Amino acid sequence: MTSTPSPDSSFAIEQKASLIKRRRSVHGGLIGLQLDRHAPGEAWSSLPYHPVFVGDTSTRVIHGGVVTVMLDESCGMAVQLALQSTQAIATLDLRIDYLRPATPGQAIRAHAHCYHVTHSIAFVRATAYQDSEADPIASATALFMIAANRTDMLRQEPKVWFDTPPPLVVPDDTGGPLAISPYARFLGIQVDEQANAVMPYDPKQIGNPILPALHGGVIGAFLETAAVLKVHREIGLATAPKPIGLTVNYLRSGRPIDTFAKVSIVKQGRRVVAFEVQAYQADPDKPIASCYGHFKLRAQGDDAVAPGDS
């Protein structure tokens, strides 16, 4: 295994970009996320459309968690491209605003810019779009910790990999609460006997394959799915709520074990619901991530696509 580089080791930008393209996260690689263009501290990425990414089969819109995965990883690319070395980085928090629905069947693109770096923290902003960056479907801001651990994702040998990548196939579910959400089922999310969301561990959920650790975007997708299930059930909605915006705080590394969720409804209005959700693993008192966000409620028969349907 290659040793971790010293903080003062310097990489040319082209060499760094080449490493990023070859050594992406496990989950990012499986879903087809690509680094298309780069500059110091900037990354332009793309994700081809796939039916697995759908969050609601009745509208065919992309699961918000797919956008979360893309923005989280794209921000990470921008941070790597801003650093002198290939130090380990980790997402501290990620704020996403869903601005308009994505057009079903089209690729999603992202532009992330790491605009400020201190000794230990990197500040990033990003936009997800389709035809034009001037017409975004979502925007994000994020904080990353620099030298978060002793791993070097770009140059060390991974502990989790696939000799043959699994196909993008969704498990069958014709009658459960996740029947309309292919991406949630692709992640392996299930509903337990108490109607709570559970995400049994699967290697395809991994972000950093060196630790290994769950992908921050996958954890965000799980938190969002858990909140959707809770709000949908508790309020008795005819249709699933749609995310408007959410902020995820990453508290601990997500280990390669099963993940659980605790959700609470903070405030319910006529059109908007505020919620909080925590993801935990072995100990409910030691969450690995927490999330605060808002959903827009949609009445039965309302065919208009609300903000956040992307």
Give me the tens of pLDDT residue by residue for the chain, a chain 310 residues long. Answer: 333 333 334 568 899 999 999 887 999 999 999 999 999 999 999 999 999 999 988 888 899 999 999 999 999 999 999 998 888 899 999 999 999 888 889 999 999 999 999 999 999 999 999 999 999 999 999 999 999 888 888 888 899 989 888 889 988 877 788 998 999 999 999 999 888 999 999 999 999 999 999 999 999 999 999 999 999 888 887 778 889 999 999 999 999 999 999 999 999 998 999 999 999 999 999 999 999 999 998 755 443 333 344 3
Whether 140 and 71 have beta carbons less than 8 Å apart is answered as yes
pTM of the model: 0.91
Helices (H), the chain: 13-22, 26-31, 64-82, 182-186, 216-235
Pairwise CA distance, residues 54 & 168, whole Å: 12
Tell me the two tokens of residue 8: 């003062």
